[in-house]
Amino acid sequence: YYPPVDVDLELQVMYFMAMVSIDHRLNVPGHQFKSMINGKVYVGSDLLWRFGVEKLRSDASFFTPRSLARLKPSDVKDWLGDVWDYGVRAFLLSDLGRKVLSFFNGSALSLLKSTGGRLLGSGGFTDMMRIFTAYTDPVEKKTFLLAKFLHGRGLIRFIDVDDAQVAVDNHLTRLALRLGLVELEQRYHDMVTGGVPFTPSEDVNLRGLVRDAWKLVSVNAGVNPFALDDYLWRLGRSVCIQDTPKCSACPLRGVCNAYEKGVFINEHQFYPTYWY
């Protein structure tokens, strides 16, 4: 669901920035983001990005900063359908458009150029993205996801890419807990198994530990963090799923703490968020 490589570079960057800005929880208790298109069922992120690329084809101007800045909740609902927090997503897109106009003279490429190709540090990409509300997650899930897309497409080449982090969401958290990379204190274990929602600070602390754990894996295995993120996200989304993991299809079951014990913990509950 990426834009064609021959699309204007400015538009490509804005498309990725806009789509990642609203790529957070789509399926929440009591509300599933799901639709059938041309005989195929799309769910969650797949459906979001399908809608995104269709909008790009039908009205590319939608993703320009000026158009995003004027978005209303009804515009997002008309585009995405009855997504559970369409008002929040409208605000995040509008905030993105307004601030690209205000801080970067309407040019997302100017934002990338201002980083000097640096991912981290003062004035680097992760620092600059904090300007936008959508990218204020303290664990930087959306920021590193966007960095992965932009670097992979060649829209920017980060000189410190090996210092990148994985984009920690519910899937990467579930994997880390089941594999035993992160062990919960009893209180938090009871909260997870009992379905007690985490507070924002508890969520940040846990996902920060998960991020650190996957960084150690990346360094010790000599695997680029962006490549590791791709692998883990697909594994968590299709194999190591909630409640009924498909262990027979998992290449990591031989080193999995949950598989050895036969007890499969899910990730913690933290739904009403635009962080991830």
Residue 234 lies in a domain: yes
- 32 and 156, same domain (yes or no): yes
Say if 212 falls within a structural domain: yes
The residue to which tokens 């106009």 are assigned: 101
Q: What CATH number should be reported for the domain holding residue 136?
A: 1.10.340
Rounded-to-integer distance, Cα 226 and Cα 148, Å = 6
3-state DSSP call for residue 49? helix
Residues 85 and 130 in one domain: yes
227 in a domain, yes or no? Answer: yes
Mean pLDDT in residue range 57-71: 98
Do the beta carbons of residue 168 and residue 214 sit within 8 Å? yes
Whether 154 and 195 share a structural domain: no
Structure confidence at residue 82 (pLDDT): 85
Please report whether residue 235 resides in a domain.
yes
Structure confidence at residue 65 (pLDDT): 98
Q: Give the residue numbers spanning the domain of 26.
A: 9-161
Which among 18, 21, 45, 216 is positioned nearest to 137, based on CA atoms? 21
How far, in Å, CA of 32 to CA of 122, rounded? 39
Show which of 116, 137, 161 is a domain's final residue.
161
Whether residue 116 is contained in a domain is answered as: yes
Is residue 36 predicted with pLDDT exceeding 90? yes
2 assigned to some structural domain:
no
pLDDT in tens, 67-110: 999 999 999 999 999 899 999 999 999 999 999 999 999 999 99
Query: Total structural domains in the chain?
Result: 2
The pLDDT score that the predictor gives to residue 104 is 98
Please name the residues in contact with 57: beta carbons below 8 A apart, sequence gap of 6 or more.
none
Q: What is the maximum span of the chain, computed from C-alpha positions, in angstroms? A: 56
Helix or strand run (H / E) with residue 144: helix 141-153
Spatial distance between the Cα atoms of 158 and 121, rounded to a whole number of angstroms:
12
Mean pLDDT over residues 208-216, rounded? Answer: 98
Residue 1 lies in a domain: no
Domain boundary, last residue among 161, 183, 214: 161
